[in-house]
Structure 1
Amino acid sequence: MNDVFGRRRRADEETAQAVPEREPAAPARESGPWDAEEAHPESERVDLGGLLLPVGPGFEIQLTMSGDSIVGAVVLVEESALQVQAFAAPKRSGIWDEVRAELSREVAALGGTAEEREGPFGPELAAKVPAQGQGTQPVRYIGVDGPRWLLRAALSGRAALDPAAAETLEGVVRDIVVVRGDEPMAPREPIQLRLPAEARQAMEQEPEHEEFKPFERGPEISEIR
């Protein structure tokens, strides 16, 4: 009798070893920012190549330039501004922790202050950045690590201090889609943006003597290198 139970126990152990343990399924996220390769809700977005940027009533969109390259976008609404930039990141680790520390040091070197706090997207920086002839201006630096990318956002103006004003622009961050692409990129390399197809066509159709300006140059923040 003991031998029968022994054989059964050994058989059960062998069966358990033969069946690999299943990894728990990753929970579906309720909000972004999203990666282009994952399922995300349909929304009205401007196609900037590396970013699909949500738009809403009263939004004005500007582009941030680095030389001749478009590396970021600015959303202006009422008395607030949101600047967003996407960067390449390693496959197995995020970079927001180290970038956040560097931003804090940069702000301090300019004579400002930066305090880390927990925000709706995780750790963020509440900073006061020196402004020419205006003392300091408040800025909230937000970062979200995605699959092989970092999305960095900066809230300024009224949204940097007023939660009600920030809510609209935080919603923009949650609905952004990052298009990283498959090409090899060095960590921290900016994910390049481009003008939407409609804007490019309009520029080509404009008479040469009339300068078409679909987007103006947006306010600059320190670049990640």
Structure 2
Amino acid sequence: MAFGRPRKKKQDDAAVASEQQDQDPTGAPDVQDADAPTAVTPGVPAEAGVAAPGVPQAADLVSSADYDRATQGPFDLSEQDTANGYINLGALRINAAEGLQLRLEVEERSKRVIAVTLDLGGSTLQLQAFAAPKTEGLWNEIREQIGTSVGSQGGTVEERPGRLGTELFAKLPAQTPDGQAGYRVARFVGINGPRWFLRGVFGGPAALEATAAAPMEQLFRSVVVVRGDQPLPPRELLQLSLPKDATAGSAPAPAPARPDLNPLERGPEITETR
């Protein structure tokens, strides 16, 4: 397992709005401000982001509307022993799979870690955990809001049953490096836990292919969420942190990045030509 270069978020005139969006699990980007389709997650081959013309197919999903989180994961800290083989990132603990790379997203103004992106085998998985009400989950409401956000930018969202429960397959219009019309693709999943909600966004081949998705889904299921006992309002971002044993060599100094952290842009994304 290796740590990628943490990315800082620059401050600009939209700093307040950007910070609010970071804490909102429904945020989706304005494609006009998105990076070029080739600006995929470090470690993902550029060719993996471009496919032959045609409509992309999401991973071969099996209907599982009655997904049992307590037995299949992700888990609450009270349900899983993380003493060995887990990377401690504060609110999230990640199984240290062979070949896994982590990239931490750091907000420049507050210096806090606001998301983690896992990179494995050319696919990515962005994770954020949020506080949730005791008596009800957030995923049903958030799916609807993500659809509205993507639709307002000219994109489309398809809701479908998947191996991780009900999920969203989103496409946003974008331009390929050679100027052709294309679109960005991401696969949103959400899990309601005990007083927490975990959002994952699959990018790269894992957003489209069952074989590529399998190891990333296993990583997602093995995640352990540390909610803590402190009272928090619903949708409050749970605090992430650098691993306690991280050194300058394993966690390089932050590099400048866009001021907005959006799941369909730099991290979990794939671009395909029409």
Range of TM-score over shorter length: 0.7 to 0.9
CA pair 100-41 structure 1, distance change in 2 beyond 3 A? same
* 1:27-81 alpha-carbon deviations (Å, 9 max, x no partner): 9943210001224577622100100011212211001234422121101122211
Aligned to 2:88: 47
Counterpart of 2:183, as a letter, is T
Contact 2:168 2:189 in 1 (8 A): yes
| 8 Å CA contact 2:164, 2:189 repeated in 1 | yes
Q: For each residue in 1:73-104, what CA deviation from the matched residue of structure 2 results, as whole angstroms up to 9, or x when unmatched?
A: 10112221100100000011101100111111
Residues of 2 paired with 1:186 and 1:147: CA distance? 14
Aligned residue pairs: how many? 189
Rounded to whole Å, the distance in 1 between the matches of 2:238 and 2:210 is 29
148, 155, 162: which one aligns with 1:119: 162
Name the aligned partner's letter for residue 243 of structure 2.
Answer: P
Residue in 2 aligned with 1:74?
117
Q: Which amino acid aligns with 2:153?
A: L
Q: Which has the higher helix share?
A: 1
The aligned residue for residue 79 of structure 2 is 38
In 2, Cα distance between equivalents of 1:28 and 1:144: 7
Unmatched runs of 5 consecutive residues or more in structure 2: 1-67, 265-274
Instruction: Name the aligned partner's letter for residue 71 of structure 1.
Output: I
Partner of 2:153: 110
Q: Please tell me the residue identity of whatever aligns with 1:37.
A: S
1:1-225 superposed matches below 5 A: 29-40=70-81, 44-67=85-108, 68-131=111-174, 133=176, 135-199=182-246, 202-203=247-248, 213=252, 220-221=261-262
Given the superposition, is the C-alpha separation of residues 42 and 170 from structure 1 closer, same or farther in structure 2, using an over 3 Å criterion? Answer: farther
Q: Which amino acid aligns with 1:119?
A: G
Q: Distance in 2 between matches of 1:95 and 1:155?
A: 19
Residue 182 (structure 1) shift: 0.3
Could you tell me how far 1:133 is from its partner in structure 2? 4.5
Q: Which has the larger radius of gyration?
A: 1
CA distance in 1, matches of 2:254, 2:120: 15
Distance in structure 1 (CA, Å) of the matches to 2:184 and 2:257: 17
Do the aligned residues in 1 keep the contact of 2:80 with 2:224 (CA within 8 Å)? no
Q: Deviations over 1:184-224 (max 9, x none)?
A: 1110010010000111xx24xx8xxxxx617778993259x
Q: Distance in 1 between matches of 2:107 and 2:254?
A: 15
- Which consecutive unaligned segments of at least 5 residues does structure 1 have? 1-26, 207-211
- The 1:214–1:133 alpha-carbon spacing in structure 2 relative to 1, beyond 3 Å, is same
Amino acid in structure 1 at the alignment position of 2:237: P
Rounded to whole Å, the distance in 2 between the matches of 1:92 and 1:171 is 27
In 2: Cα distance, 1:156 partner to 1:164 partner: 14
Q: Under a length normalisation based on structure 1, what TM-score does the superposition of the two structures give?
A: 0.75
Backbone CA RMSD of aligned residues: 2.7
Q: Quote the sequence identity (%).
A: 38
